[in-house]
């Protein structure tokens, strides 16, 4: 227990350093925030335009699709805010700067990840919550403590899946040199998470459920709230799967880091 307290204290210290240094570039902070909100607003506009021409997609109404979208935005926020440093990993490894993280008496993954807190992710969180609440009201879903608890668990497990996917993509650079572009491609998968997996045929449904588990980022977990009468087994398994998947990605990351030998300079 004291170990957890120790790590928590370090985390806050590292975090506050990062936020302080970010705040010295105030215009960058503001522009990034606007950029983030801009991105989500354009996606919402695309949704709106699409549903001007079509009433439903595969039996999913406009507001249900909005719910999925809002859910995915909130679920993606922890990766955006807390695990952002994964994006820089391949650069650190190639240049040899990664070695500095190996000399600290704390967990390498923990230390590396806590170094950056991405504030602009909060803009995405705000958009996500807004969309979620709006569609929740329009869908006339009830508000009960149990449902809110389910929502939190569902969001947490969805987040773990996306963080896991990104951990895997980032850690590949420990095994193969120069794979910085990989994380860009993989992060695009987030755009696909907002669609119900039922639009795919069996083969792709399997692919997006078990191989590249993007269906767990919004679809499976949000069914618990949106369609409580037809919850599949996978929805109930999502939290356990999420923890396992994240743990596997963490092990993959750590094993890669333990193999890291610097650039020899």
Partner 1 sequence: MNQATKTFTKFNPKAYFTLIKSSIMEYMQYRMSVVVMLFGNMMYLIIIYNLWKAIYASVDTPTVNGMTFTDTMIYLVLASAQFSFMEAYLVWEMGRGIQNGDIVIQLIKPMSYEMYQLFIIAGGNFFNFVVTFIPTFFIVQIVTDWAIPMGINLLYYLAAVLLGSMINFAVDYFVGTICLYTHSIWGINIMKEILVTFLSGATVPLAFFPEVLYRIVMFLPFHAIYNTPLTLLIHNDLPVAEVGRMLLTQLVWVVVMFAAARGFWKVSEKVITVNGG
**Contacting residues toward partner 1, per CB under 8 A:** 25, 27-28, 30-36, 38-39, 42, 45-46, 49-50, 52-59, 120, 176, 178-179, 181-182, 185, 188-189, 192, 195, 198-201, 204
Q: Which is nearer to partner 1, 53 or 265 (CB)?
A: 53
* Least distance in angstroms from the C-beta of 4 to partner 1: 33
CA pseudo-torsion sign 7, 190, 141, 134? positive
Q: How far apart are CA 164 and CA 244, in angstroms?
A: 9
* Least distance in angstroms from the C-beta of 191 to partner 1: 8
Q: Which is nearer to partner 1, 50 or 149 (CB)?
A: 50
CB 15 within 8 Å of CB 117: yes
Q: Which is nearer to partner 1, 8 or 38 (CB)?
A: 38
Tokens 């230390």 locate to 111
The full DSSP string for 90-159 is: HHHHHHTTTHHHHTSSS-HHHHHHHT---TTHHHHHHHHHHHHHHHHHHTT----HHHHHHHHHHHHHHH
* Least distance in angstroms from the C-beta of 70 to partner 1: 18
* Least distance in angstroms from the C-beta of 82 to partner 1: 17
Q: Which is nearer to partner 1, 114 or 179 (CB)?
A: 179
Q: What is the chain's length?
A: 265
């Amino acid at each position: 227990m004291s170990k957890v307290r120790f790590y928590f204290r370090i985390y806050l210290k590292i975090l506050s350093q990062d936020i302080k240094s970010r705040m010295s570039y105030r215009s960058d902070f503001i522009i990034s925030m606007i950029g983030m909100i801009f991105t989500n607003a354009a996606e919402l506009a695309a949704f709106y335009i699409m549903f001007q021409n079509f009433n439903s997609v595969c039996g999913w109404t406009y507001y249900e699709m909005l719910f999925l979208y809002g859910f995915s935005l909130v679920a993606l926020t922890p990766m955006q805010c807390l695990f952002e440093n994964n994006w820089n990993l391949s650069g650190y490894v190639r240049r040899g700067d990664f070695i500095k993280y190996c000399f600290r008496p704390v967990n390498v993954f923990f230390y590396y990840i806590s170094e950056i807190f991405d504030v602009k992710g909060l803009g995405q969180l705000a958009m996500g919550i807004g969309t979620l609440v709006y569609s929740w009201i329009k869908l006339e879903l009830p508000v009960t403590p149990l449902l809110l608890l389910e929502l939190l668990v569902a969001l947490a497990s969805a987040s773990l899946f996306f963080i896991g996917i990104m951990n895997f993509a980032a850690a590949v650079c420990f095994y193969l040199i120069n794979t910085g572009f990989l994380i860009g491609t993989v992060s695009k998968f987030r755009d696909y998470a907002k669609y119900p997996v039922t639009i795919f045929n069996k083969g792709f449904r399997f692919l997006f459920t078990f191989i590249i588990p993007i269906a767990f980022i919004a679809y499976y977990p949000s069914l618990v709230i949106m369609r409580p009468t037809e919850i599949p087994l996978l929805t109930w398994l999502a939290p356990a799967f999420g923890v396992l998947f994240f743990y596997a990605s963490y092990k993959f990351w750590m094993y890669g880091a333990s193999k890291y030998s610097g650039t020899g300079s």
